[in-house]
Amino acid sequence: MEHAATHEATNRKREATLYVVATPIGNLRDISLRALDVLTGVDAIAAEDTRITRRLLDHYGIAKRLIAVHEHNERRSVKQVLALLGAGRSLALVCDAGTPAISDPGAVLVSAVREAGYTVTPVPGANAAIAALAAAGFDTPHFLFFGFPPAKSSARRRALAALAALPYTLVFYEAPHRIAECLQDMNTVLGAVRRVVIVRELTKVFESIHVCALAQAEHWIEADTNRSRGEFVLIVEGAEAPAEDPDQGRRTLEVLLAELPLKQAVDLAAKLTGGRKNELYQLALALKKRES
């Protein structure tokens, strides 16, 4: 009962609060019950595109005042939102699909609201990057979310080059009119053998998930004009860790022991090679014994 009561208190509308609400990325049923409660309970909704949000609200029978907050007016909209919060009103912030402020407008408004001393409460839900990762099947403990790469090829290649050596799974968003050239640049910069998962139109009618090497990715997209339509998430394998050199610790110790005391040589060798200090210490003792 205590757990249920806690959730009831959490979901109760609070005055002068901005709720950052995740909305469906395609399928309208991918919205949480809590999100519907919040959208029903707030006094107004700040939306990236009021027409798209109106369709969502109409689907669930919710009638609310809508305020346009998009990339071209976000800073100007801050004053209007702060005035409503100052009058004790509560608002929800939504984007067209997914979570606001994640490769979408919202961060400027959230920051201004928090700096003004009002409560900001996230209402989690659908997210294209996480959904795509879950379906990718890459067994890696870490990933890096990059979002949209630069639009121009030269800048995109520089950005990819900065990521090329990282061992983390890389997650990108991409628009349909740039998908082919983006995959071409990834093939050139990141390497032809890396696997890529091309996730298109997540949760929508024409959702597709295709896994291939980067060498084949551009060809797969261009083989069917329908494959370059819709919104994309690209999941790319991280760089392989360099193969360990079993003799690196020995060679490093041999050089250091010629100039330094044993403990100091071991400490420095561990820092240089990333080796385990206790193993390097035993190896250093063996090298010293062999010399004597």
82-138, pLDDT tens digit by residue? 999 999 999 999 999 999 999 888 999 999 999 999 999 999 999 999 999 999 999
CA distance 89 to 250: 68
Q: Domain spans of the chain? A: 2-126, 129-236, 248-291
Q: Cα separations (Å) of 56 from 36, 88, 94? A: 10, 26, 11
CATH 3.40.50.1010 fits 129-236, yes or no: no
Regarding pTM above 0.95, the answer is no
Q: How many CB atoms within 10 Å of residue 160?
A: 21
Q: Write down the architecture of domain 2-126 according to CATH.
A: 3-Layer(aba) Sandwich (3.40)
DSSP letter at 49 equals S
Q: What would the pLDDT profile of 234-291 be if each residue is shown by its tens digit?
A: 999 999 876 566 678 888 888 888 888 999 989 998 888 878 888 898 998 888 888 7
Q: How many CB atoms within 10 Å of residue 262?
A: 15
172: left (phi over 0), alpha (psi -120 to 50) or beta: beta
**Strands 143-147 and 44-47, bridge-based pairing:** unpaired
Which residue type does 50 have? Answer: T
Q: How many CB atoms within 10 Å of residue 87?
A: 10
End-to-end Cα distance, the chain: 74
**Structure-token match 């995959």, residue found:** 183
Q: What would the pLDDT profile of 6-42 be if each residue is shown by its tens digit?
A: 455 455 567 899 999 999 999 999 999 999 999 999 9
